[in-house]
A and B are shown apart, each in its own frame.
Chain A
Amino acid sequence: MYTVEYQYRFVYRPLFYEIDGRPTLTEPRPAIPVNLHYGLLKLQAIALIDSGSTYSLFDYQIGKELGIDVRAGRLQRLSSLGGLVLGYAHLIELEVAEGWRFATEVLFSDDAIPRNLLGHHGFLEHVAVGLQGKAGQIYLRPEN
């Protein structure tokens, strides 16, 4: 028997997308609101916890609104379910909950993307995650 204690709890939420030109909702998914901090600027975004993603990836326009010169970052080419994506690495601070904020490197996309993603680099390397899909619960704690 293994026991892990978590400090924070969120709930799953359905995500909006499109099938054959029609509006559609996914079944509820583990997506959470996070605040991205860069310098004195802060922006809130909903991001999907995606254990199938190597990198945490945010939309280009979020980076731009934070005052980041997105394309000045280190270029990382990515393959994804939707095709090739170019990402640029930048150091930001990610606030997952009030009082829980850490510096981390994430990628910002070269062009707009509809979903922000919390993958291994940038998020899962810093955060322990417990998922209860049936109950729609997300449990998190810092992983130091």
Chain B
Amino acid sequence: MITLEKLVGEVKQLPRDEQKRLLEILQQEVAANQSAKTSHAEQMESPIPEPINLETIDPELKWLMENGWILQKYRGEYIALEGNELIAHGTLGEVLAESKRRGIDHPFTQYIPKTEKEWLLGQGNYPID
């Protein structure tokens, strides 16, 4: 019997390009299922977006999508990326200093929150006193 854990283990052994192909297939499946479940009227008002093509987005975002391990390793830290290279991790000051030392004036930076819920911190804010 196939289990999710076993499947994930086998997927991890696939070459990188086949992993990407699998991701595309799954995204297409999800989009197709959503489309089938949505009524025509709903589709007219809220068209289902195309899955994001990892080959056409910024290389830093592509790198983040392919390196989810950073979510656990660098919680509570900033990371700095340039292209598909991780330049530094630490405080914002530390990652900017290391980037500058390498001649990168405007690296892509992202703070990785300590918990998943914190990704929404600040959004939709309103004063409470």
Contacts and interface: CB of A to CB of B under 8 A. Distances in A.
Interface residues of A, number: 46
Contacts of A91: none
Contact of B76 (A76, A80, A83, A112): A112
Contact of A114 (B47, B58, B61, B118): B118
B110 to A, nearest CB: 6
B125 A55 contact: yes
Contacts of B117: 82-83
Interface in A1-55: 13-14, 16-25, 27-28, 44, 48, 50, 52-55
Contacts, number: 133
Interface size grouping (class) on chain B: 35 or more
Interface centre among B67, B76, B110, B121 (most CB of A within 10 A): B121
B122 A85 contact: yes
Nearest to A58: B122
B36 interface: no
Contacts of B124: 50, 52-53, 80-81
A61 B125 contact: no
A23 B71 contact: yes
Given A13-B58, A114-B113, A23 B65 contact: yes
Interface of B: 47, 49, 52, 57-58, 61, 64-65, 67-68, 70-72, 76, 78, 91-93, 96, 106, 110-113, 116-129
